Amino acid sequence: MIAVIAEKPSVATDIAKIIGANQRCEGYLTGNGYMVTWAFGHLIQLAMPDAYGVSSFNRDHLPILPSSFQLIPRQIKAEKGYKSDPGVLKQLKVIKDVLGKCDSIVVATDAGREGELIFRYIYKYLDCSKLFRRLWISSLTDRAIREGMNNLQPGNRYDNLYLSAKSRSEADWLIGINATQSLSVAAGKGVYSLGRVQTPTLKMICTRYLENKHFTPVKYWQLKVNTNSGGIDFTAQSISKWEKETEANVVLAKVREVGHLFVKSVEQKETNQEPPLLYDLTSLQKEANTKLNFSADKTLSLAQSLYEKKVLSYPRTGSRYISEDVFEEIPERISLLTKYPRFTNYAKGLAGTALNRRSIDDSKVTDHHALIVTENLPGSLSDDERSIYELVAGRMLEAFSGKCVKDVTTVVLSAGDCDFMTKGTIVKVPGWRMVFNDLDSDNEDDNNLPQIRQGENLPISGAELLEKQTKPKPLHTESSLLAAMENAGKELQDDEIKARMKECGIGTPATRAAIIETLFSRQYIVRDKKNLVPTEKGLAVFNIVKDKRISDVELTGVWENDLYKIETGELSSEAFHKGIEEYTVQITKELLSTQIDFKEATGLECPKCKAKTIHFYPKVVKCTNEDCGFVIFRNKCDKQLTDKQINDLLTKKKTGVIKGFKSKAGKSFDAALVLDEQFNVNFRFADNKSNQRKSKNG
């Protein structure tokens, strides 16, 4: 009898069907010489400090450095502390019984670092020593499962993968437990969570937020001219910029005096845009956040669901390439998409043509290849699932399409010693851009240019001064944060460390979404539309740790690289563990010696839900209770409300008279603001008619 352990029940059912284990029992399926059981993700975890005989949050017991880690069943919150999850205990008993009745094991947890850890922790906790082999597949289609079961790998082939996962797990315990307890002990009250990847990620968000908030814009001026040729109007802007308006006006007067533009140069250049690479998980999450406003965690969940529905390859991949053997299957997948309505016409045109090979590189495929669709057409999908499927399917068509060829014309014109520039683009061969028909996505500032010859003069039909100002880096969105996490270290000055962190960053494609969600659950950040904004608590923690080693993005990236080296056998897990312990001692000492005066959050009471969850942001003031939704927008009729005015609205339900509102017709008016019983902000005029004009909060 052979035992098969999957990561979750749905996957176990798929495997059982293929191998003929069709008899359903309590917690497992059996038949044809197999017993197929399952976990529910991580059933086993590292024990908490009290298991090692030390009390939590006690200065004298820090740092906590277990000589060997104990494994316990997954814990859940209880009335007093934590207890073992009853459902986990029940399933562990089933797994133990199944293993006891079988001669060998097939490991069918997800084929990746965490999937390996899930099985190995169960195997070790149950003190099992039976032979096991590994099912290593990149999709859950019937074909993939069948081929994988016929090509099982020796279990010890993945020992280094397990050691890497185990090292990650223990490092996160050592740093997270000790740093959190040290900071909380130093603060004297409250619990302030810190973590190996969590804290550097918080630093990224807070640093960008403060840069944006404290940015001082600098005004500058440019000239814009209108002209035409051959009956086609177009515009051009000055190449030069002026910091003083008076200087720009002098040049503007000269341009108007000349009255025409001299064509100094006309340069036509053919540009070739290669198609984008296939998606890995991070690039899919960034695209879904930008185009669909999906969180990284939501995108991962949807991709996982599509994987389990057998229409998408394994989602937790860090590669954007496929191998030669997978490439042989791509024509079949393109042919499949001729039956998918949105891509029917394009897929028919691509079928049978020479496919672009940019995304093919065996050396850049690690555990799993890039995301592609499987040989199964999707059936019933939710709208969100379909959106993710179409992103992946569309990107696959793009990646194997021909390049987009454009003619870009750059024209330099002059008048009154001032040079102007304009550009125009003509798409000659659409190529891959026809998949989503985004031919103009890169050409927002392009003109529709007529035929222009060097040396000719063109009339100036209008000239004006444009007042502009420098802009700060925008606040992080999940898309930009994922990019920052992925690329952490690429701007470092130290070449040796930079090389160590190349293509590494902080976190992994499989864990970055969970790290961001942790920051939300700790109430360190909130969403303001698409932006990620730190809370008062998040900023308070950041201000304490920003110069501490715990927030060092560079060091965290080096660790990720070291974990990869353990996986490849280049570094011993013992050496890594020793380094983490030494670091833990250092940060514990550093944090315990910090003078901290954490102030309790002084959040105002929300007038709607009555919780003290009001937070002030650059554009809005809102309640962070997700079930409430109360919000006040700072801008009212072209007037920016001050913190004091909003404070009055929240506490007194009214403000004094505010001057300088503007009506839709552009007329200025003065009024007080009042908060009514429906929590709308209304204008109150001098005649006390308060409800004549309203300003909605949402």
Catalytic residues: 314
Coil/strand/helix, residue 285: helix
Token code pair at residue 559:
């660790």
CB-based contact 548:556 (threshold 8 Å): no
Q: Which long-range contacts (CB under 8 A, 24 or more apart) does 499-503 make?
A: 500/557, 500/558, 500/561, 501/554, 501/557, 501/558, 501/560, 501/561
User: Where are the extended beta strands (E) located within 430-544?
Assistant: 457-469, 525-528, 531-534
CB-based contact 312:300 (threshold 8 Å): no
Alpha-carbon gap, residue 250 to 637, rounded angstroms: 35
Say how many residues make up the chain.
698
Terminal CA-to-CA distance of the chain, rounded, Å? 62
CB-based contact 215:450 (threshold 8 Å): no
Cα diameter, the chain? 96
CB-based contact 157:134 (threshold 8 Å): yes
CA distances from 32 to 2, 6, 73, 371 (A): 10, 17, 31, 33
Quote the crossing angle between the two packed helices 478-486 and 281-292, to the nearest 10°: 160
Alpha-carbon gap, residue 165 to 70, rounded angstroms: 16
Q: Which long-range contacts (CB under 8 A, 24 or more apart) does 572-581 make?
A: 573/163, 573/164, 573/166, 573/167, 576/167, 576/171, 577/167, 577/170, 577/171, 580/167, 580/170, 580/171, 580/174, 580/175, 581/65, 581/174
Q: What is the DSSP string of 607-643?
A: TTT-SS-EEE-SSEEEE--TTT--EEESEETTEEPPH
Token code pair at residue 393:
């399917």
Q: What is the DSSP string of 529-596?
A: TTEEEE-HHHHHHHHHHTTSGGG-HHHHHHHHHHHHHHHHTSS-HHHHHHHHHHHHHHHHHHHHT---
Tokens 């009290």, residue located = 50
Tokens 């005989």, residue located = 53
Alpha-carbon gap, residue 634 to 137, rounded angstroms: 52
Q: Is 565 left (phi over 0), alpha (psi -120 to 50) or beta?
A: alpha
CB-based contact 509:280 (threshold 8 Å): yes
Alpha-carbon gap, residue 94 to 105, rounded angstroms: 14
Based on C-alpha coordinates, what's the Rg of the chain? 31
Which residues have CB under 8 Å from 630's CB, separation 6+?
A: 606, 607, 608, 609, 614, 622, 623, 679, 697
